[in-house]
Structure 1
Amino acid sequence: MDPRVALTQQLQALETVPDSYIVVSPELIILTASNAYLLNTLKRREELVGRYLFDAFPDNPAAPEANAVRNWRASLEQVIATGKPHQMALQHYDVLDPDRPGHFVERHWKPLNTPVFDDEGQLRYIIHSSVNVTEEVLSRRALRISQGREHDALAEAERERQRLSHLVMHAPAAICLLQGPDMIYELVNPRYQQLFPNRELLGKPLLEVAPALRNTLVWEQLQEVYRTGQTHQEQDMCIPIVRTTGAEPEDSYFNYTLQARYNEHQQVDAVYVFALEVTEQVKARQQVQALYQELDQANKHLTRVNADLDSFVYMAAHDLKGPINNLEGLIQALREALPTPLPPEGDLVLDMMQGAVVRFQRTLVQLNDVLQLHQAYDPAAPPVDLAAIVDDLRQDLLPALQQTGGVLEVDADACPLVAMPAKSLRSLLYNLLSNAIKYRHPDRPPHVRLNCSTHDGFWHLTVQDNGLGLDASQQASLFALFRRFHNHVEGSGLGLYTVKKIVENLGGRVEVQSELGVGSTFSVYIPN
């Protein structure tokens, strides 16, 4: 086999393995990467292949202590020099955030660099396998932080128990005591003082310190508590705060409790204020809500785009039929109008024109089939009798079975009824069964087995054959629209795409296991 073809097949096989791999040349040019590696690094394969490794994965300037590029380069150079694998230590190597240019997403890895040689002992490429242990590292970090916080909290609790008389002054909340109907500051703890840095509060009326509170709901609540003695609580209240003299008020958000203080005559003489500033949390929620709104708008836009695409397909599949048929008629009229016999080159040109028209007509029919597939889903359709559908299909497939000497075995007793539209079930089974016969192995008659069982809330339909089979690279793109791998039989490339779309419309999935030259097994899972 051509070494380049062999290399290409090896790289394609690595792309679908479940582990996280990236493959680089001895010159550190990226050759390919597995799907798992792309998922872990937030990359697309076309962004990586052909690029210099460290251009695609630069250092995070915000984490210079990680020395990520330097460590990886040193390991690769060691592998190239010694020809031996090198297990790297735990690495902090962040990846670029595709949604925020210039920003990085934290990642931690356990990497291993392994050389691969050709038959002549020359280094062909290096496989960099890496286990993403970010969650484990972050969990350990969170545990340390949590343990540290727990330790601090216990120490703080012990200190607070030792100085109960100073509870208010050491509380984490902003606390003050406002005396009389004018709400004059009688007590202010340090946290409250931080709201008004470098300003004297004690002995001054609240409205002198914060005149923006006049005629606001906060002022009315303070007055109401002073008059009635009833405690009042508020969440996420927006209060304009002038934090420095001469500055404009800043909208700040607080959770607070207003509680009356009684004198020796059981009369309210002051109001306690216990407040926690939650400005950052509220603004963060507002940002999340804004993002949700943007996402909703994006979804609505996508819906409109999909509708436009359906309209385009409809136009292409229907509105172009007339002009194409007219063109076919014109070609026929031209053939009849020209003198006979035509020179060979004239016949050739007319045949080429007629062939182009036929191919265009076939494409329009296929587009119409795709459009109908997108519009055919009916979630309210009643369950159908699987055995009846299979018996009907057996009659349709009988000529092909007799012509090839094929055998169709059916075991569907476990699924008397299947909850999907009859038309969809028939189309699904016909495509799978006819493919099993159509793509038979030339050295043996087709032997096809259809089985149905129930498993974990799904109907499990399997179609197994002993036909040509598929290699790994073919399986990766098997269900793509208009994708064909064999040209020795008629086909449009719509069959397996139709199967996949039908199953996905029902909330299910389709899988394939195949071995080249041995056969294939298609497994369809439909929710029951």
Structure 2
Amino acid sequence: LFVLFAHLLKLGIPHQIIHEIPFLIFFSAVVLSGIYGGLGAGLYATALSSLLADYYFIPPTHTFFKHNWHQDFKVALYALDCLTIAVLCGSLKNALDKLKLVKSGELASRRRLEAIFTTSPAAMALWTGPDLKFEMINPQYQALFGNRALLGKPFLEALPEFHDQPFAGLLQAVMETGVPYVGHEELARHASEEGGPLEDHYYDFTYVRLEDDEGGTFGVYDHAVDVTDRVLARQESEKTAAALQASVMDLEQERDLREKFVAALTHDLRTPITSAKLMAQLLERSATTPENARKAQRITASMDRADAMIRDLLDASRIKAGLSLTLKPQHCDITEVAQATMDELSLIYGDRFHFNASGPMHGVWDPTAIRRILENLATNAIKYGAADKPVMVEVSGTINELALSIKNEGSPIPADAQAGLFQLFRRSDAAEAGKQEGWGIGLSLVHGLARAHGGNVGVVSGPELGTTFWVRLRALRSEAGADQMV
């Protein structure tokens, strides 16, 4: 198009003038074609303008065959100049196009950064110059300080309350050294409005030095998150936890004192109870009437029950202290011990018990401990089992190992409650709901006595199975025929 335009100029410019400047006009067309169209357009303009100049302006005109080497040299020289200019102009266009792309990319990147800067939920600010002048802030940063004017002002001039705080010094250090600073939950006391009171705020923030295109210092960038609510909530929870810990320690001290008191009291009570029992036995022997003898017997029985309660409390204290219970081993028939225990309980509860043993079982055990195990488990079965169903008591084993089981029908023990049954002072929800009397130490004593025998205790309970407490005990001294059933 530029070449055709140059050719049209030939029609409007007088021949005398155009005759002097034909190459100049076409040369300009090549330059413009190269600048606006690139190398390809410049080369095309070079070829076309050379042909037009040769045909229309170099005599003899209207022919490409001059038969004059001077004229052909002019055309060749013109074409070479145009070719050089076309290459230069094409390169210039490529450079301009690349520059345009770079500027366009920089503009797009800047817009993206500005969008991030503006919409980020974090507070962002940029300071420049030795006096740390606010160059940029986003809405979230401005919101931290309400309506206070920040942009264009030095840091300490805009926020004078920071004079006595470390932030200005930190910014200067980052500006000078280039080493980023990361703050975690740092306290900043500042006003949220112009003229407002100073308030405590906590921030997670990062100061980073930014450099210009030449590698020099441009400014310091701040990325901050207000974590005041989180810090205050944690501080409150820590205070609550500390208060709870103090309460727990107080309760533990109170419990320890109570346990020591109970241990001391129960120990001291045994002496007067023993004396009272001896006196009751003397009264029974010297009674002059059957009625007085029966009264003395009831006193003795009451003293025995009180002594048993004291013994249970003392043993519970030993279990709590992690000590093993003391046993008194002796050779005995376990079947006879169990039968006597069931007979005594039947006097209280009637014929609720169905006792089953394969025969005499002799071995070395603590008969008193086994009696206590049976009494506790059988009493529990009566308390919590179905009132119209029997309680099954079974004794089996060898001279070196004994198995006891007590089964009752009725509501099963929930699985989540079974694990805590043998802990001291732990009572099941069913016991609490049924308002059954008890201290919550019976099953703990059973467990402690079983462990003292080198054995164990457990429970199986379900809607179809009923509830069965089982006990496994080892003989306290080995005897011959350990694997023989007796």
After TM superposition, the score normalised by the length of structure 2 is 0.51
Is residue 2:459 matched to residue 1:511? yes
Contact 1:409 1:449 in 2 (8 A): no
CA RMSD in angstroms, aligned pairs only: 5.5
Residues in 2 aligned to 1:283 and 1:180: alpha-carbon distance in whole angstroms:
35
Residues in 1 aligned to 2:186 and 2:446: alpha-carbon distance in whole angstroms:
56
Give how far 1:175 is off: 1.0
Q: In structure 2, what is the equivalent of residue 374 of structure 1?
A: 320
Residues in 2 aligned to 1:192 and 1:241: alpha-carbon distance in whole angstroms:
13
Residues in 1 aligned to 2:392 and 2:459: alpha-carbon distance in whole angstroms:
24
Give how far 1:366 is off: 2.4
Residues in 2 aligned to 1:175 and 1:446: alpha-carbon distance in whole angstroms:
79
SS at match of 1:314: helix
Give how far 1:318 is off: 0.6
Task: Evaluate the alpha carbon distance shift between residue 219 and residue 462 of structure 1 in structure 2; reply closer, same or farther with a 3 A threshold.
Answer: farther
- Within-5 A mapping of 1:139-154: none
Residues in 1 aligned to 2:133 and 2:260: alpha-carbon distance in whole angstroms:
71
Is residue 2:207 matched to residue 1:268? no
Residues in 1 aligned to 2:171 and 2:145: alpha-carbon distance in whole angstroms:
19
Contact 1:407 1:446 in 2 (8 A): no
Residues in 2 aligned to 1:341 and 1:502: alpha-carbon distance in whole angstroms:
42
1:424-452 Cα distance to aligned partner (Å, 9 max, x none)? 9x97999379968x999x9999655679x
Q: In structure 1, what is the equivalent of residue 78 of structure 2?
A: none
Contact 2:203 2:227 in 1 (8 A): yes
Contact 2:390 2:408 in 1 (8 A): no
Aligned length: 320
Contact 2:316 2:444 in 1 (8 A): no
What residue identity is the alignment partner of 2:358? V
Q: In structure 2, what is the equivalent of residue 397 of structure 1?
A: 334
Residues in 2 aligned to 1:376 and 1:225: alpha-carbon distance in whole angstroms:
61
Q: In structure 2, what is the equivalent of residue 364 of structure 1?
A: 310
Is residue 2:129 matched to residue 1:192? no
Residues in 2 aligned to 1:352 and 1:482: alpha-carbon distance in whole angstroms:
32
Residues in 2 aligned to 1:180 and 1:270: alpha-carbon distance in whole angstroms:
7
Q: In structure 2, what is the equivalent of residue 320 of structure 1?
A: 269
Is residue 2:253 matched to residue 1:304? yes
Q: In structure 1, what is the equivalent of residue 243 of structure 2?
A: 294
SS at match of 1:203: coil
Which of 470, 481, 484 is the aligned partner of 2:409? 470
1:83-121 Cα distance to aligned partner (Å, 9 max, x none)? xxxxxxxxxxxxxxxxxxxxxxxxxxxxxxxxxxxxxxx
Contact 1:177 1:185 in 2 (8 A): yes
1:427-478 Cα distance to aligned partner (Å, 9 max, x none)? 7999379968x999x9999655679xxxxxxxxx99675x662322799998
Contact 1:242 1:249 in 2 (8 A): yes
Give how far 1:195 is off: 0.8
Give how far 1:178 is off: 1.4
Give how far 1:258 is off: 0.7
What residue identity is the alignment partner of 1:254? Y
1:211-256 Cα distance to aligned partner (Å, 9 max, x none)? 2211422222111011112221111111112111222211111111
Give how far 1:177 is off: 1.2
Task: Evaluate the alpha carbon distance shift between residue 209 and residue 512 of structure 1 in structure 2; reply closer, same or farther with a 3 A threshold.
Answer: same
Which of 522, 525, 528 is the aligned partner of 2:469? 522
Residues in 2 aligned to 1:216 and 1:343: alpha-carbon distance in whole angstroms:
96
Residues in 1 aligned to 2:330 and 2:462: alpha-carbon distance in whole angstroms:
24
What residue identity is the alignment partner of 1:407? S
1:27-62 Cα distance to aligned partner (Å, 9 max, x none)? xxxxxxxxxxxxxxxxxxxxxxxxxxxxxxxxxxxx
What residue identity is the alignment partner of 2:459? E
- What is the percentage of aligned positions where both structures have the same residue? 25
1:293-350 Cα distance to aligned partner (Å, 9 max, x none)? 22322332232122122112212221122333444566678889x9x85795x66765
Residues in 2 aligned to 1:278 and 1:447: alpha-carbon distance in whole angstroms:
67
Contact 1:397 1:434 in 2 (8 A): no
Is residue 2:243 matched to residue 1:258? no
Contact 1:470 1:514 in 2 (8 A): no
Which of 357, 362, 383 is the aligned partner of 1:406? 357
- Within-5 A mapping of 1:41-120: none
What residue identity is the alignment partner of 2:303? V
Residues in 2 aligned to 1:179 and 1:234: alpha-carbon distance in whole angstroms:
20
Residues in 2 aligned to 1:334 and 1:394: alpha-carbon distance in whole angstroms:
33
Contact 1:408 1:450 in 2 (8 A): no
- Within-5 A mapping of 1:331-350: 341=288
Residues in 1 aligned to 2:181 and 2:207: alpha-carbon distance in whole angstroms:
5
Residues in 2 aligned to 1:236 and 1:272: alpha-carbon distance in whole angstroms:
18
- Within-5 A mapping of 1:420-459: 431=373, 448=395
Task: Evaluate the alpha carbon distance shift between residue 250 and residue 331 of structure 1 in structure 2; reply closer, same or farther with a 3 A threshold.
Answer: same
Contact 2:122 2:140 in 1 (8 A): yes
Residues in 2 aligned to 1:185 and 1:445: alpha-carbon distance in whole angstroms:
88
Q: In structure 2, what is the equivalent of residue 134 of structure 1?
A: none
What residue identity is the alignment partner of 1:302? L
Residues in 1 aligned to 2:251 and 2:169: alpha-carbon distance in whole angstroms:
48
Contact 1:462 1:521 in 2 (8 A): no
Which of 221, 230, 233 is the aligned partner of 1:284? 233
SS at match of 2:144: coil
